[in-house]
Structure 1
Amino acid sequence: MNNTLSKSAESHDSRYLAFGREVAELLSQSSPSNWIDDLWDIYTGYMIAQREMGYNPRAADIFTSFKELVFFFQRVEGMKG
């Protein structure tokens, strides 16, 4: 039983380490502030295009995803201090 708990914790830790590597790779491409600026550009273009594309029932979900990404990069930027 103890071995099972150990493997589960190891698996959990391995997943977090893998996520950390992916985030590090993402951040190696650009700074958090540049990511935030790019996200605003992408979202602004999306909102402008909505006029032509018409109603999107997922618009609120897309905004929430955008907002969470911006907040994520703001938190990462704050960690650099």
Structure 2
Amino acid sequence: MNTETHASESPDSQWIAYGREVAALLSSSTAESWTDELWTMFSGFMLAQNEMGRSENLSNTYFSFKELLEFFEKVEGIRKGEFREL
């Protein structure tokens, strides 16, 4: 993913560049598939905690996971035409 922009580019062109990168990422699978994969990864991570020992950053990991799930829920809403301004 290349989200670097030149200093002379407008903020709008930066958002467009980010949008292209997100579109490219999302075109490889559905939002539902991404959500399922996230649950699989997070579940595996949680199960491994018993073997690896508890992580000091477990709460940060959880909230990052939660934000990713919310992102894909919003993406699915946009795909279904349920877009609303934040």
Instruction: Establish whether TM, by shorter chain, passes 0.5.
Output: yes
* Equivalent residue, structure 2, for 1:15: 14
Q: Give 5+ residue unaligned stretches, structure 2.
A: 1-6, 81-86
**Residue pairs, 1:1-81, within 5 angstroms:** 11-81=10-80
Cα RMSD (Å): 1.5
Q: Percent identity?
A: 49
Q: TM-score, normalization: structure 1?
A: 0.85
Higher RCO (Cα < 8 Å, 6 or more apart): 1
Shift of 1:15: 1.1
Shift of 1:52: 0.6
Q: Deviations over 1:6-58 (max 9, x none)?
A: x97x5211111111011101111100000000000000000000111102110
- Structure 1 residue runs of 4+, over 4 Å off? none
Larger Rg: 1
Secondary structure at the residue paired with 1:55? coil
